[in-house]
Structure 1
Amino acid sequence: MLKKEGKMGLFDFVGNIGKKIFNREDEASKAVTEHIAEDNPGVENVNVTVENGVAKLEGSAKSASALEKAILMAGNIAGITSVKADGVNILNGEVLAGDDEFYVIQKGDTLWAIAEKHYGNGIKYKAIVEANKEVIKDENKIFPGQKIRLPKSL
């Protein structure tokens, strides 16, 4: 489960899974910053520093949703164990989602089954894909340990 401590605090991830975008930690800050900027979900002046597997995000998010997506984009990278987001200002005053709005992909999961379980209708998996388009690039390629956002209501 995506854990959060404090107001925006620290979000924990499984460090040995996900997309590998850097080989050494001295490459990580630049690589993670570029990764988020490439598919930027709405965080202005995004900057990431990585130290000992912790990615610290800075910038200004247009919404809590934008920041949550940036956190998931950083945290689902191999080598990142935590994401610290208290350096990001949410411009519209929203607060980050609670843990119940995140989901950790389990072995054998499909987006259809997740949608069926959470919304009572498997076809609603398309809304999950849309809410996670920066994290789920191919709806047929999700992996155990990957964290995604579940939209509150569909």
Structure 2
Amino acid sequence: MGLFDFASDLGKKLFGSEDEAGDKLKEHVESDNPGVKDLKVEVQDGVAKVSGEAESPSAFEKAILMVGNALGISSVKAEEMTVQGEPAVEPAVEEVQYYVIQSGDSLWKIASEFYGNGAKYQAIFEANREVIKDPDLIYPGQKIRIPKQD
């Protein structure tokens, strides 16, 4: 599963039909705007097509994750998205890994696995603040960013 592929049968229910999906997903991203302007979202057959300008690679990634982690979205296409005016077809300009949450996971457990110290779960939470609203409420199938630790 790449950054742009998601589990369509998992996630937060944000829309009832594809007719309203684009507007609802746009509202969702804009409610916790990670740094994207002129955002547009269209959905057809579970595929979300996003466009707009992200102020940074992490803003781009967060917008993709916010859209993709919605129930009913199987993939996100971002060919028309830019990062600081440059095409953003390749994610992760900064060093970051992605992780799909498994049953039984907690941010503490994930931090222990990636950083060797569960107490560093806060770094994962901060890197995903727009995607994860509560560090105690994550769900299997949700895709998150794991930032590199110095």
Task: Please give the range of the TM-score, normalised by the shorter of the 2 chains.
Answer: over 0.9
- Could you tell me which amino acid in structure 2 is paired with residue 145 of structure 1? G
Letter of the 1:102 counterpart: Y
Aligned to 2:101: 105
**Secondary structure of 2:20's partner?**
helix
Asked whether 1:117 is paired with 2:131, we answer no
1:42 to 29, 35, 60: 35
Q: Give the whole-Å Cα distance in 2 for the aligned partners of 1:85 and 1:67.
A: 9
Return the TM-score normalized by structure 2.
Answer: 0.92
List structure 1 segments (4+ residues) > 6 angstroms apart after TM superposition: none
How many residue pairs get aligned? The number is: 147
TM-superposed deviation, 1:152? 1.5
TM-score (norm: length of structure 1): 0.90
User: Where does residue 54 of structure 1 map in the other structure?
Assistant: 47
User: How big is the shift at 1:92?
Assistant: 6.7
Match of 2:24 in 1: 31
Q: How far is the alpha carbon of 1:72 from its aligned partner?
A: 0.4
Runs of at least 5 residues in structure 2 that lack an aligned partner in the other structure = none
Which sections of structure 1, spanning at least 5 residues, go unmatched? 5-10
1:134 to 127, 130, 135: 130
What letter corresponds to residue 21 of structure 2 in structure 1?
Answer: A
CA offset at residue 85 of structure 1?
A: 1.0
Q: CA RMSD in A?
A: 1.8
8 Å contact kept, 2:51–2:81: yes
> Secondary structure of 2:129's partner?
coil
User: Displacement of 1:112 after TM fit?
Assistant: 0.4
SS of the equivalent of 2:28 reads helix
Residues 92 and 47 of structure 1, relative CA distance in 2, 3 Å threshold = closer
The secondary structure found in structure 2 opposite 1:108 is coil
Q: Distance in 2 between matches of 1:117 and 1:130?
A: 17
Counterpart CA distance in 1 for 2:32 and 2:65 is 12
The 1-side partners of 2:45 and 2:73 are apart by 8
Residues 53 and 85 in structure 2, CA contact (< 8 A), matched pair in contact too: no
